[in-house]
A and B are shown apart, each in its own frame.
Chain A
Amino acid sequence: MEKYAILLGYFDKQWLLLKKLNIQIISVDLSSYELRYVFALKVQQFYTATEDLMKQIAKGFENHIQDLSAFHKELLIRLNTEVPQIRPQVLSTNSFLFLDKVRAFRHFIRHAYDCELLEKELTTIQNQFKSHFEVLEKDFMQFRLFVEDLSR
């Protein structure tokens, strides 16, 4: 089906970007005060790119996504849930918890007018990327196979 072939194309393009951002995020030296801002920007870009991919997935399989701008967590909750006879769960609970934390961090960076970037807090986030990105990749790739099957 053409709709899913298009989604597959978008999926691959977006995944390349996410892999690149992940490498940049885990490589930032957080002991440097200036580089903490680079880290914050990259994490923000990472979540926005992931959210765009999740929105495309939701659009491909569901119709009701208009309220997602109000409560971004809703999209994560939705993708952590199987839609019987329509699509399997996209995100495992581990990936859901990881991305939820990254989403909260993005909110903090976007909305705090005068935020203090503490090395300890950022290191915790960076470590989460180091330990969870592979799980996220596994989840997305598994879902990609499902989309690939539909596109044939």
Chain B
Amino acid sequence: MDKQFDTNEAKKFQERNEAFEKDERENQRIATLSIVVESLKKLFLNTDVEVFLVGSITQPYMFYPHSDVDVVVKKFAGDRFDLWTQLETMIRRNVEIIIFENCHFQEHVLKTGYKVL
């Protein structure tokens, strides 16, 4: 290098970039959460099905562009993979549908899940 490189300046630049990306990611999570909740309400309004969201969609700053939306359904008697494809079409993101009754982390869902319905 011809002249002294300012490492501190580079660090500050990276930190600014990181903070910006983090905020963008969080805005995206909030927007996606709102679309997901709205879509699930449309699908399950006036039914007995209980719906929870778990995982990164419920955690600030943890939801990335390639993250799936994890949905837990309780008392759901329909076809899981029909629901899966239907919801993906509505929100244009990968989802994962978990059946509460067969789920091995029921307690975690009830304690920390975001209850949609």
Judge if A138 is at the interface, Cβ distance under 8 Å: no
The reply to whether B80 and A107 contact each other, CB–CB distance below 8 Å, is no
Which residues of the partner chain B approach A8 to less than 8 Å between Cβ atoms?
Answer: none
Judge if A104 is at the interface, Cβ distance under 8 Å: yes
Least Cβ–Cβ distance between A126 and chain B, in angstroms: 12
Judge if B108 is at the interface, Cβ distance under 8 Å: no
Judge if B85 is at the interface, Cβ distance under 8 Å: yes
- Give the total of A residues in contact with B, Cβ under 8 Å: 20
Known: A111-B68, A116-B102. A125 touches B81 (CB 8 A): yes
Least Cβ–Cβ distance between B54 and chain A, in angstroms: 13
Which residues of the partner chain A approach B16 to less than 8 Å between Cβ atoms?
Answer: none
Q: Is the interface of B mostly helix, strand, loop or mixed?
A: mixed
1/0 contact string of A90-112 vs chain B (CB within 8 Å): 00000001001101110110011
Q: Bound state CA distance, A101 and B88, in angstroms?
A: 11
Judge if B61 is at the interface, Cβ distance under 8 Å: no
Which residues of the partner chain B approach A73 to less than 8 Å between Cβ atoms?
Answer: 85, 88-89, 94
Beyond A108-B84, A125-B81: 14 further Cβ-contacts under 8 Å?
A71-B92, A71-B94, A72-B94, A73-B89, A73-B94, A103-B85, A104-B85, A105-B81, A107-B84, A107-B96, A108-B81, A108-B97, A114-B104, A116-B102
* Residues in chain A within 8 A of chain B (CB atoms): 70-73, 97, 100-101, 103-105, 107-108, 111-112, 114, 116, 118, 121, 124-125
* Residues in chain B within 8 A of chain A (CB atoms): 65-66, 68, 79-82, 84-85, 88-89, 92-94, 96-97, 102, 104
